[in-house]
A and B are shown apart, each in its own frame.
Chain A
Amino acid sequence: MTTATKKIGEGRLLPLTSRLEKLPWWALLIALAAVLIVFSILTSPVYQDAFNFIREGIITTIRVTVIAYGLSLIGGLIVGLGRVSKNVIFYNLATFYVEIVRGIPMLVIILYGAFVVVPIALELINGIGNWLAGIGPLAGLGRIFQQINIQQVDMSGRAIAGLSMGYAAFEAEVFRAGIISIEKGQMEAARSLGMNYFQAMRYVILPQALRRVLPPLGNDLIAMLKDSSLISVLAVRDITQLGKLYRARSFRSFEAYNTMAFLYLSMTLSLSMVVKFLERKMSRER
């Protein structure tokens, strides 16, 4: 009877085959591929050539991703608050935005942002400038607004506009999920102490909700890093665009795309390790 209570295999090493099965072979393979590519870049002149050409895109990719991500967080928070708002107008506008944007491919959103939304926004700013120029004390500001024109917004700026527009809808849903996951009693306790809705959100609900949505927000940063490759359609010189150019110039598809994939992978995998660390840290805190 005493043996029955003991778990099978307890206290003993598993057989070799099953231990081998449990190894994370996929991670080893990735590591091997990475080592091979790093080795090639260091030794093979062809890979070196490809890497040196594409390298300059890393900064652009990171810059566009970071700025667009920051903007999408701000926009997403505003839209997300609209999604949980009891105000009919605010709620419907926010939901309208989320449903429309999530139903359109990111590539189309980027094109739309770059060639429709940004030009219209600039015309609006010019219009406000014309109006302000007529008002004595604000004439200076008005003239600045009047002088902004489309040439001043380069393609990477338009790409950022498109990407952040698209991702704001996703972040809005993340924030919404975080906010509604907080127990109803928290809002009641805050309100019953005399806080208004926004104070309760700012000091009680959001600090808790943000902590809960850190992992999904991190995953969206990774997703955005990958989707930033779409901005190459605007000829922004990011990793993808330079990789395409390099291939077109040298006809070395294999080296060009391997280098591109390697660069993206090393960024996304390191980021996902950070996210996993965050997740583990938070599950321990709960």
Chain B
Amino acid sequence: MSDNPEGIIQINNVFKSFGKIKALQGVSTTVRRGEVLVIIGPSGSGKSTLLRCINMLEHPDSGNIIVDGISVMHKSTDINIVRAEVGIVFQQFNLFPHLTVLENIMLAQRIVRKRPRDESKMIAEQQLKYVGIPEKAEAFPHELSGGQQQRVAIARSLAMNPKIMLFDEPTSALDPEMIKEVLDVMVSLAKGGMTMMVVSHEMGFVRAAAHRILFMDQGRIIEEGTPEEFFENPREERTRAFLSKIL
């Protein structure tokens, strides 16, 4: 699988420790173009770390990660170029509180993509419409609900026209009634053919959009498969134990 020419993300035997904690212990997988991969697992299993290694928010200790043909860990790689192609949505939204919603979505377009003001504004408005809150363009982040903030965060990433979107527990900080509005955007993104890696335990999303599930525990991939085979018929004892807790 690892030399699959269709693999837009190739992760090869990645190790990462934080002091004594071994977050990743030899993780390898390949994500195809247009694939929606959901990573599940108990807390501390390394799911978020794996995601954050892909755009080098964490630097792996060893191994190799290739994103769209570029080795992100290579010294001569300009990581900013890779990051502009890989959107990430965080649990805590991380909107820029001093900027309006529109400015949040325009900022990186202007200074990273070097788009003129009018063009970035137009794209920002389009994306805001896509996530369903065009009327909030002039609002500040603190005036929005959690669900709305997360949708702005998604729009901010999408405005960069990324090839890949990473979601790091995008609904974990949300009140229950706001989860669906964020999942709806994610599902429509998946249906539109976006390559996505999603760390989430939202079964609604898994059922609606996931192509493949990856179960991690203690820094290793324990089991992977399509949603059907994974949920119907898990091979590993640890997977079964975990699934019985979350389902």
Closest 8 CB pairs of A and B: A194-B84, A193-B108, A189-B94, A185-B94, A194-B112, A194-B83, A192-B88, A194-B80
Q: Mark B68-89, 1 if CB is under 8 A from A, else 0.
A: 0000000000001101101110
State whether A211 touches B88 (Cβ < 8 A): no
Flag whether A208 is at the interface (Cβ < 8 A): yes
A282–chain B nearest beta-carbon distance, Å: 12
State whether A185 touches B90 (Cβ < 8 A): yes
Flag whether B107 is at the interface (Cβ < 8 A): yes
- Chain B residue contacts of A183, Cβ below 8 A: 92, 94
Flag whether A204 is at the interface (Cβ < 8 A): yes
Flag whether A134 is at the interface (Cβ < 8 A): no
State whether A194 touches B160 (Cβ < 8 A): yes
Contact partner of B96 (CB less than 8 A), chosen from A191, A196, A204, is: A204
Flag whether A227 is at the interface (Cβ < 8 A): no
Contact partner of A195 (CB less than 8 A), chosen from B55, B88, B92, B108, is: B108
State whether B160 touches A186 (Cβ < 8 A): no
- What's the Cα separation between A189 and B87 when bound, in Å? 10
> A residues 25-72 with Cβ under 8 Å of B?
none
Flag whether B239 is at the interface (Cβ < 8 A): no
- Chain B residue contacts of A147, Cβ below 8 A: none
A137–chain B nearest beta-carbon distance, Å: 33
17 contacts between A and B (CB under 8 A): A183-B92, A185-B90, A189-B153, A190-B108, A191-B57, A191-B80, A191-B83, A192-B55, A192-B88, A193-B156, A193-B157, A194-B81, A195-B108, A196-B80, A199-B111, A204-B96, A204-B107
Q: Mark A243-265, 1 if CB is under 8 A from B, else 0.
A: 00000000000000000000000
A: number of interface residues (CB 8 Å)? 18
Contact partner of B94 (CB less than 8 A), chosen from A188, A203, A207, is: A188
- What's the Cα separation between A133 and B43 when bound, in Å? 67
Flag whether B97 is at the interface (Cβ < 8 A): yes
Flag whether B20 is at the interface (Cβ < 8 A): no
B91–chain A nearest beta-carbon distance, Å: 9
- Chain B residue contacts of A188, Cβ below 8 A: 57, 90, 94
Tally of contacts, chain A with chain B, CB under 8 A: 59
> A residues 184-229 with Cβ under 8 Å of B?
185-186, 188-196, 199, 203-204, 207-208, 211
Closest to B91 in A: A185
Closest to A196 in B: B80
State whether A193 touches B94 (Cβ < 8 A): no
User: What does DSSP make chain A's interface, helix, strand, loop or mixed?
Assistant: helix
Closest to A208 in B: B98
B130–chain A nearest beta-carbon distance, Å: 18
Contact partner of A192 (CB less than 8 A), chosen from B81, B83, B97, is: B83
Q: A191-B83, A192-B88 are in contact. List 19 more A-B contacts (CB 8 A).
A: A183-B92, A185-B94, A186-B96, A189-B94, A190-B108, A191-B80, A193-B107, A193-B108, A193-B112, A193-B156, A194-B80, A194-B81, A195-B112, A199-B111, A203-B107, A208-B96, A208-B97, A208-B98, A211-B98
Q: Mark B42-84, 1 if CB is under 8 A from A, else 0.
A: 0000000000000101000000000000000000000011011
State whether B90 touches A189 (Cβ < 8 A): yes
- Chain A residue contacts of B97, Cβ below 8 A: 208
B154–chain A nearest beta-carbon distance, Å: 12
- What's the Cα separation between A208 and B88 when bound, in Å? 22
Closest to B112 in A: A194
A193 with B83: in contact, given A188-B57, A203-B107, A203-B111 (CB under 8 Å)?
A: yes
- Chain A residue contacts of B92, Cβ below 8 A: 183, 185
B64–chain A nearest beta-carbon distance, Å: 20
- Chain B residue contacts of A204, Cβ below 8 A: 96, 107
- Chain B residue contacts of A190, Cβ below 8 A: 96, 108
> B residues 89-145 with Cβ under 8 Å of A?
90, 92, 94-98, 107-108, 111-113
- What's the Cα separation between A194 and B79 when bound, in Å? 8
- Chain B residue contacts of A189, Cβ below 8 A: 90, 94-96, 153
- What's the Cα separation between A193 and B81 when bound, in Å? 9
B109–chain A nearest beta-carbon distance, Å: 9
B177–chain A nearest beta-carbon distance, Å: 24
Q: Mark A126-156, 1 if CB is under 8 A from B, else 0.
A: 0000000000000000000000000000000
- Chain A residue contacts of B160, Cβ below 8 A: 193-194
A195–chain B nearest beta-carbon distance, Å: 6
Closest to B113 in A: A194
Q: Mark B141-161, 1 if CB is under 8 A from A, else 0.
A: 000000000000100110010
- Chain B residue contacts of A195, Cβ below 8 A: 80, 108, 111-112
- Chain B residue contacts of A194, Cβ below 8 A: 80-81, 83-84, 108, 112-113, 160
